[in-house]
Amino acid sequence: MTTTPWRRAVAALATAAILPFALSACGDDSSGGDDDKGSSNSSEDKSDDAADAAADDAAADAESQLEELEESSGVDVETGGDLPEGFPEDDIPLVGQVEQGAAIDTPGAVGWSVATSYDGAKDAALTEASEALTEAGFDEQTAGAIPDGALFAKGDYSVTVAVVEDGSGSTLISYAVAQLPS
């Protein structure tokens, strides 16, 4: 089977769409794991050091894989709260705080994947994201057919929204945006 540029672009966009979920585990440790609590348990310290080293190795491996993906597929991955390059922020309303994103620009396809964090339950996150897109003129294409998600369209944009609770009372909202060929 031959691989067309369109198929490569769709595969790369699909990969970009799942990256926010995969990368959410590679964030920094904001729990203050380096605090010295006066523990004299050296085996606990060694275990913590080993866990930190394993996390650092996993993060380095993920970074290496992202670089390879960017070079081979045209996907541009942004982390640290930045929207990916070229994201149509005036056309696509986002709910929550941007955590990371990816962009793809290949012959025949342009798309973006953005993950935001939302302080609340997934049902509320999906409702708010859906309302924002509807108010911006998007039509829902799936009307409840996608569990924990929805598909919207407007003009040459298609937006898939999916939500996942992170277990701490917050929700990750993933937006996969495709700009369809004119």
Residue 106 located in a structural domain: yes
Whether residue 149 is contained in a domain is answered as yes
In this prediction, residue 106 has a pLDDT band, given cuts at 50, 70 and 90, of confident
Average pLDDT over residues 67-89: 74
Reported confidence tier of residue 160, pLDDT bands at 50, 70, 90: very high
Residue 33 maps to a domain? no
Which domain range does residue 130 map to? 5-28+38-179
Residue whose structure tokens are 């440790």: 29
The answer as to whether 163 is a domain residue is yes
Which range, of 3-17, 64-78, 90-104, averages the lowest pLDDT? 3-17
Distance from the Cα of residue 125 to its chain's centroid: 15
Local structure of 177: helix, strand or coil: strand
How many structural domains is the chain composed of?
A: 1
CB 118 within 8 A of CB 125: yes
Reading the block at residue 13, the tokens are 């966009």
Helix axes 42-73, 5-23, angle to 10 degrees: 160
pTM: predicted TM-score of the whole model, two decimal places: 0.63
Distance CA 39, CA 31 (A): 17
User: In Å, how far are 146, 161, 174 from 122, measured between CA atoms?
Assistant: 14, 11, 11
Per-residue confidence at 78, pLDDT binned at 50, 70, 90? Answer: low
Q: How many CA atoms lie within 13 A of 116 on its CB side?
A: 20
